[in-house]
Chains A and B, each alone.
Chain A
Amino acid sequence: MSSLGLLLILAIYVVMLFYIAHWSEKRSHSKWTNNPYVYSFSLAVYCTAWTYYGSIGLAAQTGLDYLPIYLGPIIIIPTWIIILKRIIRISRVNKITSIADFISLRYGNSRSLGALVTLISIFGIVPYIALQLKAISDTFHVVTKTQASSNIFTDNTTYICIALALFASYYGNKYVDASEKRRGIVTAIAIESILKLVFFLIIGIYVTYFVFDGFDDIYKQASVLEDFDKKNTIGNLTNGLNWFFLCLISMFAIFILPRQFHTAIVENNQEKHIRTAIWLLPLYLLLFNIFVFPIAWGGNILFENQGLNSDTYSLLIPQYFNNNFLTVLVFLGGFSAAISMIIVSSITLATMLSNNLLIPYGFIGSLKNTSPEKNIKRIVLSRKIGIFSLIILGYIIYRVFILDYTLVSIGLVSFVIIAQLAPAFFGGLFWRRGSKKGAVTGIILGFSVCFYTLLIPYALGTTNSGSTFVQEGPWGIALLKPFQLFGLDYLEPIPQAVFWSLLVNFLSYMAVSVSFSGNYRERNYAEMFVDIDKYITNHENAYVWKGTANISDIQKILERFLGIERTQRAMTIFKLKYNIDKDNKIADARFIKFAENLLTGHIGTASAKIVIASVTKEDKISLPEVLRILEESKENIVINKKLTENSNELKKISEQLQIANKELINKDIQKDEFLDTVTHELRTPITAIRAATEILHDDENIPAEVRQKFLQNIISESDRLNRLIDKILDLEKFETGKQKIYLSKNNLSQTINNTLESLQQLIANKNIYVDFKNQSREIKAFYDEERIIQVLHNLFSNAIKFCESIAGKITIQLIENPDFVSVSIHNNGKEINPEDLEAVFDKFYQSRNQNIKKPIGSGLGLAICKKIIEHHKGKIWAESSKSNGTTITFTLPNYNTSEK
């Protein structure tokens, strides 16, 4: 493949990525860019060219050793659901934009610690970037079958690298606020992650199933190669320890590597996206590793003893079979892996460089006095230059130092260096006592150990000096041999360095933290970090600050960086959030923290503090006082929580009260209606009695038979009055539960017959035919006979009253079921309005709908019947139709069968 052709393909590929980034930047809120899958795949920036090519090289040379780098993350990722969520919350409320911000803020917003973390990161990551450039360059030459030119100006890869640096610096830093989300870049990274996996799987399938005859075939052929068994067994405890330390640093790496911190935390849009990432990312890593082994050993079989760079097997194999298409595809996958890492790492390193090193130590003074537009330009430009120079620096390192090392070894050194931030990072997350002095001591000592046990030997290795430093130790002291420090001779160089550096780092961090407690500001942030869940909603409350400050001074400073419009918008939001009076002129702790947060995205935490401090006068607070204030604010938060709970409870209760009140009002209305109707009903007989009595009283010459008639009136109306009172009292007894039912075993047919007999006269008067089906059958049931007679009497009276006046007929039907016995009384009279079928059992039922219509009868009879039947645990209902008259049915439980 010609260089020009490959360059053209690369150009097209990069333009495509550029377009994707551009497209998704514009749609930063659409579900295409803002979803858990884009988030999860962007995390796969973890898989760099080192994974893509280096794993194969390592597997070919040493067997299974490529695995721990993936096992570590897979083991630790499930804890993200708790730990990563906390880190994201802390970072969100504090506008943290990098690992340097995170660590330095935790230890009292320390400028020097931020700078230290930045330096360590640059030290660890720039060689790593160099490694990616090396991968691009090496593979470019493999694909084009050219040799790297010793003159960097005639080497094509130099121009690729410059183009990459320009692309990254142009697209990587469009925003002055580093805490802004970069949806374009993230989406492009996610796409690249998918592409590199797909391309890797394609070459894996190609090698396994087309070049060879499946996994079995490769295994069979490889197993006869030299050292196969030895390389592919984990071996003894020593090897286990080697694995352990490699897993450990990769666990740390997935949290702390600046690019992982950036994609997982700074670019996190929603906490719930973590839920997808915790299964998708491990799955991704596992998929990536399926074909590493077949490709590596396939290469070993094909190119045995040819001395080729095993890192490039995935390119060499298709090339060997003249498959240009696959070769280019694999190259593009590797290129994707490399540039994702380069872009994300250089962006985050440049942010750290500007926010934690250049601005706080350099041009912070000049920033305060220029216009906002100029400030924004300068900050953005400084970051762009940062990105560009970091990539170019990486390229220089690659050209000068690491031409000869394999991808994996440089990558691991980088991991070990970054792992030095782990004690301060995780300590700060869980341990309140962790102090800045401890963190600084730990990092410096740990890094020094790394330097001694890894960097010096590597530097010596690249320069090929004849030093005996590694073999015999400095000045021939065997105990100080860098790879076998203090006689620890059974670990590999890297695990050994991990062990010593992290041990020293961790112990010194603990020891110094315990011995020298931090200042009040450290303690303040320690509380906010460790107890983030308590402060999440109004974290400004948790900030302790005392002193004098004017809002207007701070506002002026904010305007310098944010511009007038944004400043005013932010201040309005703040005042609304904390319900602060518009005319308030004195800034409190909350406002100081709020202002610092606003500036943090632009100039970093340390500079934000410095800028705000320049216009305020802070009083020193003693540590105990900080603790007291924090305790108070914590109590306040607890009290607030309780108050909210209480008020929620009150709300619930008041809702219940409202419902109860409504019911009471309804009952009251019902009661009023009832009373109304009762008085009306009572007045009617009284009116009749009064009128008749008046006539008898005033007219002495009244004829005897007329007198007799009126006297008869008085008697019947008095009886009516009495009956009414009885019924009201009856109903009242049932409703208040005072009425008792006395159950006894009776014959229902007999009871019905008895009732009918007492009504014989009325039935005869109206000439009604009574049809009592299965009259003679004995149906035993448990009921209060007196009460059931009352019911029957009422129902029969109604039936008689409403029967057809000519050819009236009443039918009685008795049915016995396993569950109940039922009595139906049918009359062939007129229909009850279907809407009223249920209402007839209400007391004075007609009164509810139309309180002027006259109830029929007393209006209480059926209501009482219903009560009696319900007290017997039975049911009563009415059915009616025009053609078929009206049937009232009631049931009683059949205790006979249930007792059986």
Chain B
Amino acid sequence: MKKILIVDDEPNIVMSLEYTFKKNNFEVFIARDGQEALDTLQNHHPDIIILDVMMPMVDGYSTLEQIKKNPELENCKVVFLSAKNKEQDIQKGLALGANLYITKPFSLKKLVEQVQELIN
């Protein structure tokens, strides 16, 4: 069973994501901001992270930078999921080492497909 970490501060969005990935046989972990995400990563080593950008406290970009510093998380894939949809935001996210940048609003079905493609 693949492990997925969902990082977002919008509870209603998290709820939908959690439901969908669970249904697709993922073990789902949830964090509400960057700091929580980093803590969770230490303990659970997920295969993939769905990361929002705009969050209180530690934002998505900084979170990714922290992840990249940790060699133990080398194989962890990262997908940004953000309402910031400007070209420069996307470029920045990919430059930091994200595998995918998906803009909100998004299609759950497509997201699941892309995530599965990434980890297989």
Most chain A CB atoms below 10 A, which of B9, B16, B17:
B16
Report Cα–Cα, A690/B109, bound state, in Å: 12
Other-chain contact of A852, B10, B23, B54, B109 (Cβ < 8 Å): B54
Contact A698 B16 (CB under 8 A): no
Known contacts A694-B109, A853-B54, A853-B59; is-contact A680 B15 (Cβ 8 Å): no
Q: Report whether A684 and B83 are in contact in the complex, using a CB–CB cutoff of 8 Å.
A: yes
What is the minimal beta-carbon distance from B59 to any residue of chain A, in angstroms? 4
B8 CB, min distance to chain A CBs, angstroms = 10
Residues in A neighbouring B119, C-beta threshold 8 A: none
The verdict on B108 contacting chain A, using a C-beta distance below 8 Å, is: yes
Q: Which residues of A contact B53 (CB under 8 A)?
A: 852
Query: Complex formed: what's the CA distance from A717 to B12 in Å?
Result: 8
Quick check: B20 and A695 within 8 Å, CB to CB?
Answer: yes
Given the complex, which residues of B lie within 8 Å of A850, measured CB to CB? 59
- Report B86 CB to chain A, min CB distance, Å: 8
Cβ–Cβ contact A853 & B55, under 8 A: yes
Whether B70 sits at the interface, judged by CB under 8 Å, is: no
**What CA separation (Å) do A717 and B104 show in the bound complex?**
15
Query: For A762, what are the chain B residues with a Cβ–Cβ distance below 8 Å?
Result: none
A302 at the interface (CB under 8 A from B): no
Per the bound structure, the CA–CA distance linking A706 and B16 in Å amounts to 10
- Among A680, A688, A690, A698, point to the contact of B54 (Cβ < 8 A): A680
Decide yes or no whether A378 CB sits under 8 A from chain B: no
Total number of residue pairs linking A and B with CB closer than 8 Å:
76
Question: Residue A695 contacts which of B16, B54, B56, B86 (CB distance < 8 angstroms)?
Answer: B16
Known contacts A687-B83, A853-B54, A853-B56; is-contact A694 B108 (Cβ 8 Å)? yes
Interface: A623 (CB within 8 A):
no
* Contact A688–B56 (Cβ < 8 Å): no
A691 closest partner in B (C-beta): B16
Interface string of A660-685 (1 = CB under 8 A from B): 00000000000000001001100110
Q: Is the pair B19, A688 in contact by a Cβ cutoff of 8 Å? A: no
Residues of A within 8 A of B54 (CB): 680, 852-854
A854/B55 in contact, CB under 8 A: yes
Asked if B59 and A713 make an inter-chain contact with CB atoms under 8 angstroms apart, the answer reads no
Q: Is A201 an interface residue (CB 8 A)?
A: no
Is the beta-carbon distance between B83 and A698 smaller than 8 angstroms? Answer: no
Q: Does A657 contact B (CB under 8 A)?
A: no
Does B13 make an interface contact (CB < 8 A)? Answer: yes
* A692 close to chain B: CB less than 8 A: yes
- Chain A residue nearest to B82 (CB atoms) is A680
Q: Is the CB–CB distance between A680 and B56 below 8 Å?
A: no
- Contact (A710, B16) CB under 8 Å given A687-B104, A691-B105: yes
- Interface flag for B120 (CB, 8 Å): no
Q: Is the CB of B107 within 8 A of A694?
A: yes
- Tell me, in angstroms, the Cα distance from A709 to B118 when the chains sit together: 30
**Which residues of chain A in 690-723 are interfacial with respect to chain B, using CB atoms and an 8 Å cutoff?**
690-692, 694-695, 698-699, 706, 709-710, 713, 716-717
Q: B104 to A684, Cβ gap below 8 A?
A: yes
A852 to B65, CA, bound (A): 14
The distance in angstroms between the C-alpha atoms of A690 and B104, with both chains bound, is 10
Residue of A nearest to B103 (CB): A683
User: What 0/1 pattern do residues 715 to 741 of A give for CB contact below 8 A with B?
Assistant: 011000000000000000000000000
Cα distance, A854 to B61, chains bound together (Å):
13
B residues less than 8 Å from A691 (CB atoms): 12-13, 16-17, 20, 105-106, 108
Interface residues of A in 23-73 (CB under 8 A from B): none
Contact partners of B23 in chain A: CB under 8 A: 699
Give the residues in chain B near A688, CB-CB below 8 Å. 10, 12-13, 16
Q: Are B16 and A692 in contact (CB under 8 A)?
A: yes
Asked if A856 is at the interface (CB within 8 A of a chain B CB), the reply is: yes
A686 at the interface (CB under 8 A from B): yes
With an 8 A cutoff between CB atoms, is B2 at the interface?
Answer: no
Q: Which residues from A are CB-within-8-Å of B44? A: none
Residue-wise interface mask of B (99-120) relative to A, using a CB-CB cutoff of 8 A (1 in contact, 0 not): 0000011111100000000000
Determine which residue in A686, A687, A695, A706 has the highest number of CB atoms from chain B within 10 A of its CB, and name it: A687
Which residues of the other chain, A, contact B19 by a CB distance below 8 angstroms?
A: 695, 706
Per-residue CB contact flags for chain A residues 830-869 toward chain B (1 = under 8 Å, else 0) read 0000000000000000000010111010000000000000
Query: For residue B104, which residues in chain A have a CB less than 8 angstroms away from its CB?
Result: 683-684, 686-687
Q: Which of B24-40 contact A (CB under 8 A)?
A: none
Contacting pair A683 B105 (CB below 8 A): yes
The 20 listed contacts between A and B (C-beta, < 8 Å) are: A680-B83, A683-B83, A683-B105, A684-B10, A687-B13, A687-B105, A691-B108, A692-B12, A694-B16, A694-B109, A695-B16, A695-B19, A695-B20, A695-B108, A709-B15, A710-B15, A852-B54, A852-B61, A854-B9, A856-B56
Alpha-carbon gap, A680 to B85, bound state (A): 9
Q: Could you tell me the distance in whole angstroms from the C-beta of B57 to the nearest C-beta in chain A?
A: 8
**A residues neighboring B (CB under 8 Å):** 676, 679-680, 683-684, 686-688, 690-692, 694-695, 698-699, 706, 709-710, 713, 716-717, 850, 852-854, 856
Q: Do B12 and A713 touch (CB < 8 A)? A: yes
A69 to B107, CA, bound (A): 110
3 cross-chain pairs, A with B, having the tightest CB-CB distances, nearest first: A691-B16, A683-B83, A688-B12
B46 at the interface (CB under 8 A from A): no
Minimum CB–CB distance for B30 against chain A, Å: 15
Q: A680-B83, A688-B10 are in contact. List 17 more A-B contacts (CB 8 A).
A: A684-B13, A687-B10, A687-B13, A691-B16, A691-B20, A691-B106, A692-B15, A692-B16, A694-B16, A694-B107, A694-B108, A699-B23, A709-B15, A713-B12, A713-B16, A853-B54, A854-B54
Chain B, Cβ-Cβ closest to A686: B105
**Candidates A690, A854, A856; contact of B105 at CB < 8 Å:** A690
Highest count of chain A CB atoms <10 Å: which of B59, B83, B107: B83
Say yes or no: A852-B59 contact (C-beta < 8 A), given A680-B54, A683-B104, A684-B83.
yes
A676 to B88, CA, bound (A): 13
Residues of chain A contacted by B105 (CB below 8 angstroms): 683, 686-687, 690-691
- Contact flag A854-B107 (CB < 8 Å), given A684-B83, A695-B16, A695-B20: no
Cα of A676 to Cα of B13 in the assembled complex, Å: 20
B contact residues around A680 at 8 Å (CB):
54, 83-84
A698 to B10: give the CA distance in the assembly, Å: 22
Closest to B106 in A: A687
Q: How far apart sit A688 and B13, CA to CA, in the bound complex (Å)?
A: 5
Q: Closest approach, in angstroms, between the C-beta of B27 and any C-beta of chain A? A: 19
Chain B residues numbered 59-87 whose CB sits less than 8 Å from any CB in chain A: 59-61, 83-86
Chain B residues contacting A699 (CB-CB under 8 Å) are 23
- Complex Cα gap A476–B53 (Å): 126
* A713 to B14 CA separation, bound complex (whole angstroms): 11
Chain B residues within 8 Å of A676, by CB = 86
Most chain B beta-carbon contacts within 10 A, residue among A683, A698, A709:
A683
List chain A residues, Cβ under 8 A from B16: 688, 691-692, 694-695, 710, 713
Q: Is the CB of B108 within 8 A of A854?
A: no
Q: Is the CB of B60 within 8 A of A852?
A: yes
Check A854–B56 contact: CB distance below 8 A. yes
**Could you tell me the distance between the alpha carbons of A695 and B84 in the complex, rounded to whole angstroms?**
23
List, in ascending order, chain A residues with CB within 8 A of B59's CB. 850, 852-854
Separation of A686 and B61 alpha carbons in the complex (Å):
23
Residues of B within 8 A of A686 (CB): 104-105
Query: Which residue of chain B has the shortest Cβ distance to A712 in the bound complex?
Result: B12
Q: Which residues of A lie under 8 Å from residue B108 when comparing CB positions? A: 691, 694-695, 698
A852 to B23, CA, bound (A): 31
- A144 to B19 Cα, complex, angstroms: 132
The distance in angstroms between the C-alpha atoms of A709 and B59, with both chains bound, is 28
Q: What residues on B are CB-neighbors of A692 within 8 Å? A: 12, 15-16
Cβ-closest chain A residue relative to B53: A852
Complex Cα gap A297–B104 (Å) = 114
Q: Name the CB-closest residue of A to B85.
A: A683
B52 — nearest CB in chain A belongs to which residue? A854
User: When chains A and B are docked, how far (Å) is the Cα of A288 from the Cα of B58?
Assistant: 90
Query: Min CB distance, A671 to chain B, in Å?
Result: 15
- Which chain B residues border A854 with CB–CB below 8 Å? 9, 54-56, 59
In the assembled complex, which residues on chain B have CB atoms less than 8 Å from the CB atom of A717? 12
Q: Which residues of A contact B55 (CB under 8 A)?
A: 853-854
